[in-house]
Amino acid sequence: MPSRARRRCTASGCPGFAGTSGRCEQHEIPRPRPQPKPRPSSTALGYDYRWRKKSEAYLRANPTCVACGRPSQHTDHIDGDRTNWEPDNLQPLCLSCHSRKTATHDGGFGNRRTPR
């Protein structure tokens, strides 16, 4: 089976053949890959053993999502303050509702935080 003809380098006046980037080895433009910032651990963010135990107990006592009624998976801080563990500041949410709230209200995914 015949293969496709090789393409010429896109650099002006270059007679060389292009690689996968559209340029020959001589005209290839090195592009450094951006390094992602290391994400802090949950413990570094303040969610330690005590929080995990409190969250598990809260979810056992409140098994359904307050937004949609599905089984809850996350204990959410209503005001977004992760240091405020008061029961009236917590709400059980499923993964979908928690992700939506984080994205729209808590400054998640690069969005601005909305004031409460």
**Which residue, chain included where needed, has tokens 């994400």?**
39
**Residue-level pLDDT at 116:** 61
pLDDT at 110 over 80: no
Tens digit of pLDDT for each residue in 23-74?
998 998 888 888 888 888 888 888 899 999 999 999 999 999 999 999 999 9
Distance in angstroms (rounded) separating the CA atoms of residues 24 and 94: 51
The pLDDT tens digits for 75-100 are 999 988 888 999 999 999 999 999 99
Alpha carbon separation from 8 to 1, 4, 30 (Å, rounded): 22, 13, 19
Of 107 and 16, the one with more pLDDT: 16
